[in-house]
Amino acid sequence: MTPPAGRQAGRQGGVTLAMVARRAGVSPQTVSNAINAPELLRPDTLERVQQAIEAMGYRPHRAAQALRTRSSRLIGYGIQSVAVDRSTPVMDRFLHALTQTAEEAGHRILLFASPTGPALLSAYQELLDTYSVDGFVLSDTTRGDPRQAWLEKHGVPFAAFGRMWTGRQIGDFVDIDGAAGIEAAVDHLVELGHTRIGFLGWPRGSGAGDDRALGWKRAVQRHGLPSRGRRAESTDEVAHAAAAVEPLLDAGMTAIIAASDTLAMGCYRALRDRDLSPGQDVSVVGFDDSPAAALVSPGLTSIDQPMTTVGRECVRLLLARVADPAREPEHVVLAPTLVVRESTVTPPSDRLTP
């Protein structure tokens, strides 16, 4: 395994197809075929060409390929301009999976700052025009997000992380079954002996948030537990959450399921303000399994979203569509898993007194 000889790593350098062809004693086109359609070559020719490629450390020049084929093997991904802190803590895992998977398929991720407002779509337009990206991965999709419709209308392949919560589905998407995650949390709490389980969610209107609330409602009803008036709402800030959870605590809930880890931290705060201990006095469950969940004490039981799988699937769906624009849209819904830590225990009343 010696490093390719005759290869200058420097800025200009450039072993071209033609150079390899000369060395292998074939035409440039044959070298091209050796790479893109090896089955066309006679075995011995293929062998000879491959050796020349190896020996010279040849690598096709993407710009030239892109110019000719109009495909850059680039996948565009727009990161939010203003940090929407909602699910940020786990997005790096997503981005990493995107990069990794794309790479394994010979593609790369091109980042751009996804603007807000009217400039949004023109940013996608620009990437198509200038970099001829093969497609896009969307995330942080919102209700009434204009991107899917625009991309479909223009025949641009894309895969979204997040289903459309309104109207018909457009295109391929990967999403997480938030409702199922919350249901699993309710089951876990019921198993521990809880019968008064409250839910602290986001204000109505966000697709994912409403889905999580629905999961809670379904599960408590399935267990024959009270659900009316046991739901609080708060934006994603600790202080607001702490205030919003008050009525639930007043109502004697022994466990709170929050729609995010941030909201769960609000529960922690509210409990401490009442001189109660999270876990010990009232069980708490979060959502996201962000790094903070493992850090706090008591460790926060939380619902882990399989972000790595989500990223991988997004790339898979996207590349499948690039390969076959006419294929049926594919929807992947993944189940999250409950990560149990110290914040969920048997309710005080069930415990044996020492």
* Under rule CB under 7 A, residue 69 binds DNA: yes
Q: Which residues pair with 95 in a beta bridge?
A: none
CB count, 10 Å around CB of 280?
Answer: 14
C-alpha of 268 from chain center? 27
CB count, 10 Å around CB of 174?
Answer: 27
For residue 211, the surrounding DSSP H or E stretch is helix 207-222
* Under rule CB under 7 A, residue 67 binds DNA: yes
Q: In this structure, are residues 306 and 337 in contact, taking their beta carbons and an 8 Å threshold?
A: yes
Query: Judged by CB, which is closer to DNA: 28, or 298?
Result: 28
Query: Judged by CB, which is closer to its own copies: 92, or 350?
Result: 92
Size of residue set near its own copies by CB under 8 A = 63
Q: In this structure, are residues 266 and 235 in contact, taking their beta carbons and an 8 Å threshold?
A: no
Query: Judged by CB, which is closer to DNA: 61, or 272?
Result: 61
Which of 306, 304, 305, 309 shows the shortest CA–CA distance to 101?
309
Q: Which of residues 120-149 bind its own copies (CB under 8 A)?
A: 125-126, 128-132
Give the residue, chosen from 2, 12, 349, 353, that forms a contact with its own copies under the rule CB under 8 A. 12
Residue window 243-282: x/- pattern of binding to its own copies, with contact defined by CB under 8 A: ------------------xx--x--xx--x----------
Query: Judged by CB, which is closer to DNA: 43, or 118?
Result: 43
Residue 288 backbone dihedrals phi, psi, to 5 degrees: 130, -30
Residue 55 backbone dihedrals phi, psi, to 5 degrees: -60, -35
Q: Which residues pair with 209 in a beta bridge?
A: none
Give the residue, chosen from 8, 27, 166, 277, that forms a contact with DNA under the rule CB under 7 A. 27
Q: How far is the CB of 35 from its own copies (least distance, A)?
A: 12
Q: Which stretch binds DNA (CB under 7 A): 19-27, 226-234, 257-265, 273-281?
A: 19-27
| Residues contacting residue 22 through CB under 8 Å, at least 6 positions apart | none
* Under rule CB under 8 A, residue 100 binds its own copies: yes
C-alpha of 74 from chain center? 18
Q: How far is the CB of 9 from its own copies (least distance, A)?
A: 4
Q: Which stretch binds its own copies (CB under 8 A): 33-41, 90-98, 183-191, 202-210?
A: 90-98
Which of 172, 253, 183, 235 shows the shortest CA–CA distance to 211?
183
Kindly list the residues in this chain that would bind DNA in the complex (CB under 7 A). 14, 16-18, 25-30, 32-33, 35-36, 40-42, 45-46, 58-61, 64-65, 67-69
